[in-house]
Amino acid sequence: MPDMNEKNTGSPGESLDFIRTIIEEDNTSGKHDGRVHTRFPPEPNGYLHIGHAKSICLNFGIARQYNGLCNLRFDDTNPSREEIEYVDSIMEDVRWLGFDWEERLFYASDYFGQLYEYGVQLIKVGKAFVCDLSAEEIREYRGTLTEPGKESPFRDRSIEENLDLFEKMKAGEFEDGSKTLRAKIDMSSGNINMRDPVTYRIQRSTHHRTGDKWCIYPMYDFAHCCSDSLEGITHSICTLEFEDHRPLYDWYLEQLDIFRSRQIEFARLNLTYTIMSKRKLLQLVEEKHVTGWDDPLMPTISGLRRRGYTPESIRAFADIIGVAKRDSIVSIDLLNHGLREDLNKRAPRVMAVLRPLKVVIENYPENQAEEVEAIINPEDPSAGTRKLPFSREIYIENTDFMEDPPRKFFRLAPGREVRLKHAYFITCKSVVKDEKTGEVIELRCTYDPETGGGEAPDGRKVKGTLHWVSASHALDATVRLYEHLFIVENPADAEEGKDFMDYINPDALETLTGCKVEPGLAKTIPLDHFQFLRHGYFCTDSDSTEGSLIFNRTVGLRDSWAKMQKKKNN
């Protein structure tokens, strides 16, 4: 587990991670004249998730650190799964995280013409051929990890014939799947990726940018390295599963004799209680286990944003976890720890009663109200103070009262006195119950007018301090509380016969209506952050309006990460 103090930013004097070490070596040797150029290359087939955020912070962060550039490039070579909605959401998410690709927005599909020419070039140097084997036959011929593959019977077609067939593939003369262009490498290679990999396939589907212009599409491995090269990417950073593809990446660039970008792999981010795959996240959306990609339960960037995570806390998290060469799983408590630290500094404190119980203060005049002063954020004196209305009828949290309290319960009970935060001491005199159910529906209390500053002049102490709102001034609100979306730490690692869907937490969302919040929240807008005293950090939901307030709990107050660290250090 990473240590909070262990940073990988590579500022002077700190030890560098392995990627930055490579970059500094290249800068020292003058390999690219000190130029550093990275890219973030999402496939627009879903919304970005927190794993992508790590990659974004890494690629844009490195560019920033070394005075370099970082491109945003949509890897849109698979027309059947890609949509404009995803392209738009990805741009919004990268910007929200605080990064800017300036004028360098690219699409792999912009290079389709050039990539076709590269295909022709490979044929001309005898390094590619048109193959008539079906997808299934290609798979059969490929061999296994322990057995070499078999050469395609079409491997020795002449250059002229290959050029002619490739052109006809492009012109739409062949059925989908009936022919492919394959690289001619080595069917006995120990690396299966090098066994004459498919470079182009025929697929008639409308592309979100190029429409029906093309019926042949380049494969990812070919398109990706060529796109990197065309953009002059110096360091092409990707996740570990592409390590075995690197020889092919290098092979294509070498055969084509074009700019040699360098691929560097790092371990993808895994988070506890989370899944991190667009395909699986799409399944959650399609099967309506969540309300959409931006459901606050989702580990998508848009879900985290709506939930109330801040870009600062996500960037800091990416920084702290750093990059590694080996896969591991990071505790979501670490992400939430940083989030709390960030929100603690800037979230205004407000009073919100989530499960209201009415309190009538019998000795407070009817039709009277006053304003008490309350500090906005004790961590940030510059935030100042606000005025809170106080009156004869207030709401407190119904869990703050017990008729027959156990020994350690220090809040309100019959005959007991407590402090109302920023206001007076009150004492519970009697209880009103629902005649039918016996449920406590109202408390009758008195207040001590001498305790306005929150202290009694005679020095008497009270053990409990409660939050509250004035009943006639409070606003109604809906509040959503969240638990982990999954009930196990690693839902991706399902036991036999199960899959991640079997671990969905049916109680992940609890919606509370009829909550009461202080009147200052009337004009709140989506993405505003607050600390609801004693309840945690909350964020105004994107569907919230002035007449119908909705808040999402971003994270509770209890910091299990900090607690665990403390225990470890003792």
Residues with a known catalytic role: 43, 268, 278
Q: What angle do CA 222, 80, 184 make, to 5 degrees?
A: 25
Strand stretches in 392-528, DSSP E: 393-397, 417-420, 425-433, 440-448, 465-466, 468-470, 475-482, 509-517
Q: How far is CA 57 from the centre of its chain?
A: 12
For the purposes of burial, counting CB atoms within 10 Å of the CB of 376, is it exposed (0-12), middle (13-18) or buried (19 or more)? middle
Distance CA 550, CA 542 (A): 8
Distance CA 492, CA 273 (A): 9
Least spacing, CB of residue 55 vs ligand ATP, in Å: 4
Nearer of residues 180 and 236 to ligand ATP, judged by Cβ = 236
Nearer of residues 201 and 268 to ligand ATP, judged by Cβ = 268
* Residue 236 touching ligand ATP (CB under 6 A): no
Nearer of residues 263 and 565 to ligand ATP, judged by Cβ = 263
Among positions 271-330, residues that touch ligand ATP (CB under 6 A) are: 276-278
Least spacing, CB of residue 223 vs Mg ion, in Å: 12
The site that binds ligand ATP (CB under 6 A) totals a number of residues, namely 14
Least spacing, CB of residue 527 vs ligand ATP, in Å: 25
Quote the tokens at residue 329. 């799983």
Nearer of residues 207 and 553 to ligand ATP, judged by Cβ = 207
Nearer of residues 20 and 224 to Mg ion, judged by Cβ = 224
Distance CA 130, CA 198 (A): 9
Q: If contact means CB under 5 to 8 A according to the sort of partner, which of Mg ion, ligand ATP, none does residue 41 touch?
A: ligand ATP
Least spacing, CB of residue 54 vs Mg ion, in Å: 15
Least spacing, CB of residue 549 vs ligand ATP, in Å: 34
Of 238, 316, 334, 471, the residue at the interface with ligand ATP (CB under 6 A) is 238
Distance CA 453, CA 425 (A): 10
Q: Where are the alpha helices (DSSP H) in 18-100?
A: 18-29, 50-65, 84-96
Residue 239, strand partner residues: 266
Give the contact letters, 29-68, x = binds to Mg ion (CB under 5 A), - = no: --------------x-------------------------
Nearer of residues 293 and 390 to Mg ion, judged by Cβ = 293
Q: How far is CA 260 from the centre of its chain?
A: 32
Q: If contact means CB under 5 to 8 A according to the sort of partner, which of ligand ATP, Mg ion, none does residue 54 touch?
A: ligand ATP
Distance CA 35, CA 46 (A): 32
* Residue 269 touching ligand ATP (CB under 6 A): yes
Q: Are 142 and 149 in contact (CB under 8 A)?
A: yes
Distance CA 409, CA 165 (A): 82
* Residue 491 touching ligand ATP (CB under 6 A): no
Q: If contact means CB under 5 to 8 A according to the sort of partner, which of Mg ion, ligand ATP, none does residue 291 touch?
A: none
Among positions 32-61, residues that touch ligand ATP (CB under 6 A) are: 41-43, 51-52, 54-55
Residue with tokens 């670490």: 334
The site that binds Mg ion (CB under 5 A) totals a number of residues, namely 1
Binding site for ligand ATP (CB under 6 A): 41-43, 51-52, 54-55, 238-239, 268-269, 276-278
Residue ranges in contact with Mg ion by CB under 5 A: 43
